[in-house]
Structure 1
Amino acid sequence: MHNKVYTPENAAMLLIDHQSGTLSWTHSHDVEAVKKNAVQLARIATAVDMPLVLTSSMEEHVQGLLIPELQEAAPKAFAQRIRRAGIVNAMHDDNFNDAVKATRRKKVVVAGITTEVCVVFPVLQLLDEGYEVQVVTDASSSFTRIGDDAALRRVEQACAVITSTGQIISELAVDWTTPRGQALGQLLGLGA
């Protein structure tokens, strides 16, 4: 029986294609909220020393660079981001796949743009490879709400867990009275 609780010691954070151009194509969620949540996830991972892997696709094209807020929130992970040439399933990119394996974690938290293209396929592969996966729906978005819902249903049927940024922060905090809990509470807006 797997331990279902994700901790900074047993999980990794994968943020896929939160790029300026790609975000502008999405209409399933409020773009500013998605950006805020993705940046919060990067901040959380950095704050608790959780492995964070960032990737982008075709940065030199209309997709653009990863949003600058990610560079500010996680400068080291941003500098080490995996730049893919256009491979749809990030797990098919050897550099990304190797970076995920290098975390030495079998639990992963995934968010990306778009849910229906850049999240669904790597999540299905991660599940096939024996990873446990949580997909953060409010830090991901798609071209349409219908497409987003279909992608979430598909990964959920494959045994991914659908979650939210607030749930991830709370799960990683464990106890709001500890130094870690207080730091994450402040990111969630609970602290003074």
Structure 2
Amino acid sequence: MPRVDTVVECPVHDSFRVQQAAGLFDVPLADRASERFTVDLPDLDEDWRIGLIVGPSGSGKTTVARRAYGDQLFESADWPADRAVVDAFAPLGVRDTVGLLTAVGFSSPPSWIKPYRVLSRGEQFRCDLARALAMAGGNSAGQQPRANSQLVVFDEFTSVVDRNVARVCSAAVAKAIRGGRVNKRFVAVTCHYDVARAG
């Protein structure tokens, strides 16, 4: 089991207001603020498909995910302003695109033909999730994922959707991955514990 042990630091800029705020709450001041995160994670050579990094806001989830998985951490992609959502998944075929959109709980053909910018935040979240799955490795069902090649790590998972949509989306993604319809490994990074019960 690999261990992530990382320290993050930033300078503390001394000012009257900083000293005042620190004094109000007895916060010791130094030249730099630092925090250490130590976490044991399953090895990528082990047999697992879905992972979850969960904890309260500011607890180091993104830092741990970035340290453990590097460029596998999905960063929001640019969406064309004047094209339909389905156009942004090329070179995937339309059937594969529809399969991914459905797999993340976004089953709305009228919304698929709209530009990303006009969709609701919840619809945009599901489009981003489908795009993250599309951009990682191969898509052939039935093949076992190999190490990092088909790993998707998604930060702020379900943060912008209501909790009912979050649970439905989590269950849909888990079903698609466990059932082999989406041939990926998936790690959700979130402060919401309810998605663990849904998936």
Whether these two folds match at TM > 0.5 is no
Structure with a larger share of its residues in helix: 1
Larger radius of gyration: 2
Q: TM-score, structure 2 length as denominator?
A: 0.30
